[in-house]
Amino acid sequence: MTRRTVEPILWLLFSSGGVMAALFVPVLLFLFGLAFPLGWITPPDHDHLQAVASHPLTIIVVFVVFVLCLFHAAHRFRYTLYDGLQIKHLKELVAVLCYGGAIVGSALSAYVLLTVA
Helix (H) or strand (E) holding 97: helix 91-116
Instruction: Report the nearest approach of other proteins to the CB of residue 34 (Å).
Output: 6
Q: What is the dihedral of CA 91, 92, 93, 94, to 10 degrees?
A: 50
For residues 15-74, which are near other proteins according to CB under 8 A? 15, 17-19, 21-34, 36-39, 41-50, 52-53, 62, 66, 69-70, 72-74
Residue 105 makes contact with other proteins by CB under 8 A: yes
First-residue to last-residue Cα distance in the chain: 44
Instruction: Report the nearest approach of other proteins to the CB of residue 95 (Å).
Output: 11
Is 62 within 8 Å of 20 (Cβ atoms)? no
**Which residue among 60, 88, 90, 96 contacts other proteins (CB under 8 A)?**
88
Using CA atoms, how far apart are residues 112 and 28, in angstroms rounded to an integer?
Answer: 18
Residue 93 makes contact with other proteins by CB under 8 A: no
Cβ partners under 8 Å of residue 31, min gap 6: 41
State the residues that interact with other proteins by CB under 8 A. Answer: 1-5, 7-9, 11-12, 15, 17-19, 21-34, 36-39, 41-50, 52-53, 62, 66, 69-70, 72-77, 79-80, 82-86, 88, 101, 105, 108-109, 112-113, 115-116
